[in-house]
Each structure stands twice: as structure tokens, then as C-alpha cells.
């Protein structure tokens, strides 16, 4: 199975409101669309999209779904809230073992930690930038994650 990991795009600065309610900026939306369009051309077509319930992550997932003509409902999960342990996310992903392609949308540092856990590398080996999309090939769905990194696409690499 291919696992796609997408960090939310650039969001508003914290202005005294709750962190969970921060929305994407216009620049963030523009860069995200470029990343998704580039990935779509490389065969990016998830069967399911799991997303953190925070507004900026949901907006990111909605834009990805729109760009991909994805018509299934988004699946919100608290396992993708900031600071959730990577192995809790892994346990959630294992429920989708029959998928061909799975997209998760969330936050850092969680997604960078998950990427490192998937690869068995030190916790700071991969940095998921805002609107970055990583593709992993999963090697089984056992209790311990094992994967290979296929590619990592940042807005800059996508020409945004």
C-alpha cells in the first residue's frame, strides 16, 4: 500500500483565538494546489483521506479532495491531532490495510515523527514542511511500521 502524508498548508498566525480554528491563508491554498496538481500527475489518487479535525487540516484535505476529484467523505480522526504518538496513528492506519492508496492530513511535529518512525530513522531525519506531501511504500501492516520513502514533494519543488 502507498501511504501519503500531507502536512497542512500555511495557516493564519495565532491571533488570540483557539489554535484549532486557524484557517489557511491564500498563499497557503495556492502552494497546496500546486503540490497536489504535481502529485496527481505522478499517479496520486487515494482511496481514503484521514484528517485531523483542526480547521487548517480539514481545509487542506478539502482542497486536496477537490483537486483530485475525490468524492468520498473525509474521515476525521483524533489520532491526527497535534502531538499524537506515531504508533497511535499507525494503529489507526492498520484499519485501512486493504486500501491501495491512503492519504493522511495533519500537523507537525507529529507527521515528521511518523515519517521517521515509518523509516526507522532518528526523529529529526525528515522535516515535513507546510503543504509538503510524502509518499511511502508500506511493507506489511504488522504492529511495527516498516516503509520506504518513495518521494517527498515540497511547495518549492512543485514550483509554487
Residue ranges per domain, the chain? 2-12+20-153
Q: Which three cell numbers stand for residue 19?
A: 489554535
For the stretch 93-138, pLDDT in tens is: 999 999 999 999 999 999 999 999 999 987 778 889 999 999 999 9
The CATH number of 2-12+20-153 is 3.40.50.1240
| Nearest by Cα to 10 from 29, 34, 35 | 29
- pLDDT in the model for residue 124: 75
How far is the C-alpha of 128 from the C-alpha of 120, rounded, in Å? 16
CA distance 70 to 49: 9
Q: Which residues of the chain have pLDDT under 50?
A: none
Amino acid at each position: 500500500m502507498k501511504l501519503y502524508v500531507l502536512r497542512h498548508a500555511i495557516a493564519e498566525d495565532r491571533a488570540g483565538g483557539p489554535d484549532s480554528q486557524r484557517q489557511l491563508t491564500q498563499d497557503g491554498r495556492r502552494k497546496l494546489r500546486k503540490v497536489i496538481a504535481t502529485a496527481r500527475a505522478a499517479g496520486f489518487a487515494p482511496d481514503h483521506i484521514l484528517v485531523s479535525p483542526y480547521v487548517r487540516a480539514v481545509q487542506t484535505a478539502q482542497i486536496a479532495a477537490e483537486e483530485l476529484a475525490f468524492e468520498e467523505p473525509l474521515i476525521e480522526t483524533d489520532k491526527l491531532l497535534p502531538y499524537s504518538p506515531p504508533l497511535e496513528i499507525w494503529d489507526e492506519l492498520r484499519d485501512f490495510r486493504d486500501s491501495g492508496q491512503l492519504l493522511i492530513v495533519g500537523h507537525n511535529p507529529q507527521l515528521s515523527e511518523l515519517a521517521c518512525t515509518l523509516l526507522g530513522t532518528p526523529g529529526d531525519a525528515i522535516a515535513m514542511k507546510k503543504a509538503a506531501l510524502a509518499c511511502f511504500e508500506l511493507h506489511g501492516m504488522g504492529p511495527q511500521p516498516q516503509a520506504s520513502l518513495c518521494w517527498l514533494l515540497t511547495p518549492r519543488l512543485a514550483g509554487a
